[in-house]
């Protein structure tokens, strides 16, 4: 039976939650104080209709102080008018290149206002892991850093041999299954085992990365048992319901799925739009390293070296918080030409 555990880390300028499935990271929730509190799944409120796009069967609405939200128009909804009010719930938070998507709740009354905030990291952990309190402290930080490393990876080993590569594009996410050195009594059996394992591992990895939409598996082998594989896919992705859809295996050996998007991809947090390390995230890694070294070295003075962009983000967002925890016994040195993911912390 699968076992899920929750971990909660509260660092300087961040609250991070991790859910593990049988010891491997399955979900990663990250919150920074600078986040827009209205751009979160689960926020509910009365919004003003700014514009109706009949050609796209959508309306643009906004909560007070919030960004524009796309509200799909369904035939069973009352007629919307520009300037009118509607009660909505944020169904999908915004991504780097796409606005948030709302869900119609009811016709709006009164003034535009927020009725309910989105769940906190702690609440998301409780939704994912029903029993017990999350683990905190050093074990939680270790779980966070392992989850971040996994989220940044592309290739993931399969139990018994072989691996999958998970690569998102603008249109879909491709999951390539590779047989590798998997051993079995015959090649067809080996391919079946690899494909079954790939569905289970990919389900965990896609939740961790926060990826949804169209998912295409490039399966290994030929003559697939379509019923067995589609049933295995539904079981592997059952935690993502409602909204999971599984298609038939094509003549080219691919399996297509649709998985609901409920949160922005976690790489939007860890990387810049160009795919480079996000200096703001790296600054938080630097704060973690300073705290760790500060505890290990007692009252020693510390020096942290990092790139100029990371140093700038650290000073702007985290410097005061780290000083509150450690005292003013550290210095940040900006190193020209260092990449943003390189850093050093040492006692002086």
CATH number at residue 158: 3.40.630
| β-strand partners of 45 | 88, 114
Opening angle at CA 10, ends 9 and 15, nearest 5: 90
Q: What is the model's pLDDT at position 185?
A: 60
Q: Are residues 93 and 213 in the same domain?
A: no
Q: HSE of 77 in the Cβ direction (CA atoms, 13 Å)?
A: 19
Instruction: Judge whether 160 lies within some domain.
Output: yes
Regions of the chain short of the pLDDT cut 50: none
Q: Are residues 80 and 103 in the same domain?
A: yes
Q: How many CB atoms lie within 10 A of CB 167?
A: 12
pTM for the structure as a whole: 0.91
Q: Are residues 109 and 127 in the same domain?
A: no
As a whole number of angstroms, the distance between CA 8 and CA 26 comes to: 14
Q: Which domain holds residue 139?
A: 4-36+122-144
- State the total domains in the chain: 4
Q: Are residues 313 and 228 in the same domain?
A: no
Q: Quick check: 254 and 224 in contact, CB under 8 A? A: no
Instruction: Judge whether 305 lies within some domain.
Output: yes
Instruction: Judge whether 270 lies within some domain.
Output: no
Compute CA 94 distance to the chain's CA centroid, rounded to the nearest angstrom: 12
Q: Are residues 285 and 316 in the same domain?
A: yes
Instruction: Judge whether 60 lies within some domain.
Output: yes
DSSP letter (8 states) at residue 135: B
Cis peptide bond upstream of 242, omega within 30: yes
Instruction: Judge whether 130 lies within some domain.
Output: yes
Instruction: Judge whether 268 lies within some domain.
Output: no
Q: What is the model's pLDDT at position 184?
A: 60
Residue with tokens 């993911």: 341
Instruction: Judge whether 289 lies within some domain.
Output: yes
Calculate Rg over the CA atoms of the chain.
23
Q: What is the model's pLDDT at position 70?
A: 96
Opening angle at CA 30, ends 318 and 5, nearest 5: 125
Q: Are residues 20 and 127 in the same domain?
A: yes
Phi, psi of 295, deg, nearest 5 = -70, -40
Q: Are residues 158 and 93 in the same domain?
A: no
């Amino acid at each position: 039976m699968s076992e899920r555990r929750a971990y909660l880390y509260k660092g300087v300028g961040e609250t991070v939650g991790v859910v593990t499935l049988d010891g491997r990271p399955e979900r990663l929730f990250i919150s920074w104080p600078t986040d827009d509190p209205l751009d979160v799944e689960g926020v509910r409120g009365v919004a003003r209709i700014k514009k109706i796009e009949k050609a796209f069967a959508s309306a643009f609405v906004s909560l007070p102080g919030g960004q524009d939200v796309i509200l799909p128009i369904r035939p069973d909804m009352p007629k919307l008018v520009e300037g009118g009010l509607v009660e909505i719930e944020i169904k999908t938070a915004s991504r780097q290149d796409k606005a948030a998507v709302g869900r119609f709740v009811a016709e709006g009354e009164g003034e535009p206002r927020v009725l309910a905030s989105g769940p906190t990291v702690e609440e998301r952990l409780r939704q994912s892991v029903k029993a017990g309190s999350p683990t905190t402290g050093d074990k939680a930080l270790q779980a966070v850093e392992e989850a971040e490393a996994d989220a940044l990876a592309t290739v993931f080993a399969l139990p018994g041999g072989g691996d999958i590569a998970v690569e998102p594009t603008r249109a879909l996410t491709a999951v390539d299954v590779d047989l590798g050195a998997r051993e079995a009594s015959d090649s067809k059996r080996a391919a079946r085992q690899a494909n079954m394992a790939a569905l289970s591992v990919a389900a965990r990895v896609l939740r961790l990365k926060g990826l949804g939409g169209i998912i295409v598996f490039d399966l290994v082998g030929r003559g697939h048992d379509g019923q067995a594989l589609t049933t295995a896919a539904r079981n592997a992705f059952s935690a993502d319901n409602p909204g999971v859809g599984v298609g038939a295996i094509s003549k080219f050996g691919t399996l297509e799925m649709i998985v609901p998007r409920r949160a922005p991809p976690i790489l939007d947090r860890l990387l810049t739009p160009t795919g480079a390390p996000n200096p703001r995230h790296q600054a938080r890694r630097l704060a973690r390293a300073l705290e760790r070294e500060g505890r290990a070295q007692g009252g020693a003075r510390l020096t942290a070296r990092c790139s100029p962009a990371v140093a700038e983000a650290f000073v702007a967002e985290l410097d005061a918080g780290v000083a509150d925890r450690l005292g003013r016994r550290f210095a940040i040195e900006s190193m020209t030409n260092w990449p943003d993911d390189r850093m050093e912390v040492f006692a002086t």
